[in-house]
Structure 1
Amino acid sequence: MPRPPVDLVPADVPAESLTHNTLNGVTGGIWRTCREGRPAVLKLLAPPGRPSPAHWAGSDDPGHWNYWRREVEAYRSGLATSAYPGLAGPAALAVDERPDGTVALWLAEATGRPGTAGDPADLGEVAARLGAGHARWLDDPQARAIITGAGDRARGGRWPGWLARDWLRDYTLSRPVPEPVPWEHPVAVAAWPAPLRVGLRALWERRHAVIAATDRLPRTLCHHDVWPMNLVFGDAGPVLLDWACVGPGPVGEDAANLVLDTFLDGLVDVALLDEVVSTVVDRYVDGLGGRVPRAVAARAVRLTGAAKYVWLAPLMLGRLGGPPGQTYDRRDEAAIMDGRRRVLELLMRWAAEALD
């Protein structure tokens, strides 16, 4: 990754490129550097038109799942640092609107252990704070107005329509799944037992119904991208990064993503899966504080997890033998197929339990 533009970071100032999704057309780069002598992270955001795969293209539509200015607005409004008390984004240092149309978002550097070094107890603490944050948005009448589409009136225009309209549905259905899906590809047959392939196929064929079922869950304000790469465990508690997808969504979705996405890219040992499932779901439900009945909340985690990753297996099969299309997962094709099997088996169990 090249250095940031010299008008933002002079050549004699260190700038370390940070791992991020380079496929996303919105993100022009992320660097650890400094601003006015203070450690900082610089995130360069690009308007639509930056080269990217179609399913990662940025949008000018404020309600689109990948609206390019959403994170800027989340920090300018204070939402990124106040949405979930105890689980906030880093402080914003500055926002620079640049002549070329890009925006430089300067954030205080979050110091501590990276999220991938967290143990089940750490992830459980994140889940508990998520639950408490989600409960807050369920309880506050003004907050409910925002997530049901009356935000401009409820907040006097402070938070206009830049919240993602329907992130779960829009993102999920935008994934480039091939048709027909090669369910009987020899690599899949070798890596995944027949019952798993049959179940994954049935789940994909029911995708619209599964997503529609999440519409009947209580609605809250979701981050939509809670996973270890967006977490830092600092001395004062966990810090939640990347507020580019924030918007209304079903209860349980962020907790489900925290479980599943912890293991999908081989960054955390999958042997911890069962412990993480138990800890995260229990702590999340506890964090909701009874605002949602325990059985409903636990089912919501399972259902939203199934809905959010309904596309994963068919997309993986469509990419067999071709470019991996991965940013974070550095394993070879066989290792990815094998390493994700346990997560996909969990996904199938969740779907069966939630849709029964």
Structure 2
Amino acid sequence: MEAPPHVPARIGGVVTRAEPLTHNSGNAATGGIWRVHGPAGTAIRKIARPPSATPTGSPSWQTSDAPEHWNYWRREVLAYTTGFAAEVYAGTGIVPPDLIDVVERPDGAVELWLAEATGAHGTAWPPGRFRDFARRLGTGQARWAGRVPELPWLSRRWLRNYLAHGPATIVWMRTDEDYAHPITAAWPTRELRALHEGRERVLRVAETMPRTLAHLDVWPTNLIADGDRTVLIDWAFTGAGALGEDIANLVIDSVTDGLIDAALLPEIEEAATAGYLEGLRDGGWRGDPDLVRRAIAACGAAKYSWFGPAVLGRMIRGSKARGSYGRPLDDDAAELERLRGLVELIVRWASQAGEDPR
């Protein structure tokens, strides 16, 4: 780590040691994340990086100066500095990390210095803890149902833009021969192909669902226990989303990278869905719970419509299995078996989404 231009007094004003933290290094919006030690304590230093003339990171994770862009590079900075992240779910027990300092760098980047949350990450949670978190999230999102504020930097139509420009664009299944490959027999490949090629259908269903203020990156690595509270980190995508959209992401992304035993997926789905519906009722939302279940299904199937074909295509072409952060996964046969329940869930959700009612 290069020497920061400023070190907060809260950790002693100097750096004694810094540890790089695992993150999506392909995302051009992030210039690095470190746990920084000083004489008086520790903090998390995260660099938000503006677009440059020479693109960095993965082609599917490019960023923009445009506030409406799905990967707008300043969105997380604004979420912290305006107080938005601290206020949006206030009183529910879901909190962002405390903002210690913000530094505008000469190169145009912005350093966020955040208090470190030291509890258990969501990857170590039992299903019951997911239910508790989902209930609190439902309570918080009920208050915003149908009235997302008109802040110009909040994301809009995030899911559609992510599917059009993000990782979903890199899928290596292109021909009938690909889909007839022997390796595809282990999964419901016909249904996965139909979903990927017809993803506009489920996406349109997802877009008809009631809107709320969503985080849009809720998954176990962004959840940290803090006693009875949960620290929710990484607010770079936050904006208008469907009721239940965050729950869909939490359920699927709990097992995609092998950080939680995939055998727990049915329990996590049941716990997160039930807790969220309880929270919506606690928060005063009086709509049809079946509509929320359908929203969860449509959002999850749409967002991960590319997942099955992408994994199969990678295997057919001999690319080594890796998780989102580059961590090696199991060999192909073990990975196919591990993810079978997940792709079956995606297919089931696509069926449950139904047709666009418009």
Q: Please, what TM-score do these two structures have when normalized by structure 2? A: 0.88
- Separation (CA, whole Å) in 2 of partners of 1:75 and 1:250: 22
Gaps of 5+ in 1: 152-159
Q: Is 1:187 the counterpart of 2:183 in the alignment?
A: yes
Counting only pairs closer than 5 Å after superposition, residues 102-141 of structure 1 correspond to structure 2 as 102-138=109-145
2:250 counterpart of 1:254: no
Cα distance, 1:55 vs. partner? 0.8
* Amino acid across the alignment from 2:73: W
Report the secondary structure of 1:71's partner residue: helix
Distance 1:106 1:309 in 2: 32
Secondary structure of 1:138's aligned partner: coil
Q: 1:5 to 1:332 in 2, by over 3 A?
A: farther
CA–CA separation in structure 2 for the residues paired with 1:70 and 1:217? 24
Q: Match for residue 209 of structure 1?
A: 201
CA 263–145 in structure 1, closer or farther in 2 if over 3 Å, else same: closer
- Out of 53, 58, 65, the position equivalent to 1:60 is 65
Which amino acid letter does the alignment assign opposite residue 335 of structure 2? I
Post-superposition offset of 1:185: 2.9
CA contact (8 A) 1:267 1:329 kept: no
Alignment-derived partner of residue 10 in structure 2: none
- Paired position in structure 2 for 1:30: 33
Aligned residues: 334
Matching residue of 2:162: 171
**Equivalent of residue 84 in structure 1, options 73, 81, 89:** 89
CA distance in 1, matches of 2:327, 2:251: 17
- SS of residue in 1 equivalent to 2:295: helix
Given that residues 4 and 31 in structure 1 are in contact (C-alpha distance below 8 angstroms), is that contact kept between their aligned partners in structure 2? no
* The 10-residue stretch of structure 1 (108-117 or 26-35) with the greater mean CA deviation from structure 2: 26-35
Q: CA deviation at 1:29?
A: 0.8
> Distance in 2 between the 1:12 and 1:62 partners?
33
The 1-side partners of 2:252 and 2:230 are apart by 19
Cα distance change, pair 266–328 in 1 and its aligned pair in 2 (3 A): farther
Question: How far is the alpha carbon of 1:299 from its aligned partner?
Answer: 1.5
> Greater CA deviation, 307-316 or 3-12?
3-12
Aligned with residue 319 of structure 2, among 300, 305, 322: 322
Secondary structure of 2:144's match? helix
SS at 2:179 equivalent: coil
**Inter-CA distance 19–178: structure 2 relative to 1 (3 Å threshold):** same
1:162 partnered with 2:153: yes
CA distance in 1: counterparts of 2:230 and 2:50, whole angstroms: 30
**Cα gap change, 1:277 to 1:108, in 2 (>3 Å):** same
Confirm or deny: 8 A CA contact 2:18 2:35 kept in the other structure.
yes
Deviation at 1:329?
Answer: 4.3
Counterparts of 1:287 and 1:145, CA distance in 2? 18
1:308 correspondence with 2:303: yes
Change (3 A) 1:204 1:12: closer
**Deviations along 1:228-251, whole A, 9 cap, x unmatched?**
100101114111010000010111
| Counterpart amino acid of residue 231 in structure 2 | V
CA–CA separation in structure 2 for the residues paired with 1:324 and 1:62: 34
The Cα of 1:66 is off from its aligned counterpart by 0.5
Say if 1:220 and 1:94 are closer, same or farther in 2 by CA, change over 3 A.
same
1:157 alignment counterpart: none
Answer whether contact 1:135 1:291 (CA < 8 A) is retained.
no
1:328–1:261: structure 2 CA closer, same or farther, 3 Å change rule? Answer: farther
- My pick for the range that moved more, 47-56 or 264-273, is 47-56
Aligned to 1:75: 80
Of all paired residues, the percent bearing the same amino acid is: 43
Q: Which amino acid aligns with 1:298?
A: R
Q: Residues of 1 paired with 2:226 and 2:250: CA distance?
A: 18
- Post-superposition CA distance 1:113-167 (Å, at most 9, x none): 111111101111111111111101016xxxx152xxxx1xxxxxxxx41111211
Aligned partners of 1:31 and 1:41 also within 8 Å: yes
Q: Following the alignment from structure 1 to structure 2, what is the Cα–Cα distance between the partners of residues 105 and 24?
A: 17
Q: Distance in 1 between matches of 2:181 and 2:6?
A: 49
Distance in 2 (alpha carbons) for counterparts of 1:336 and 1:273: 15
Residue 264, structure 1, aligned to residue 256, structure 2:
yes
How far 1:89 sits from its partner (Å)? 0.8
Q: Secondary structure at the match of 2:106?
A: coil
Partner residue in 2 for 1:280: 272
Partner of 2:286: 291
Q: Gapped runs of 5+ residues in structure 2?
A: 8-12
C-alpha distance in 2 between matches for 1:287 and 1:92: 27
Q: Is the 8 A contact 2:35 2:42 kept in 1?
A: yes
Q: CA RMSD in A?
A: 2.0
Name the residue aligned to 2:347: 348
179-188 or 81-90: bigger deviation = 179-188
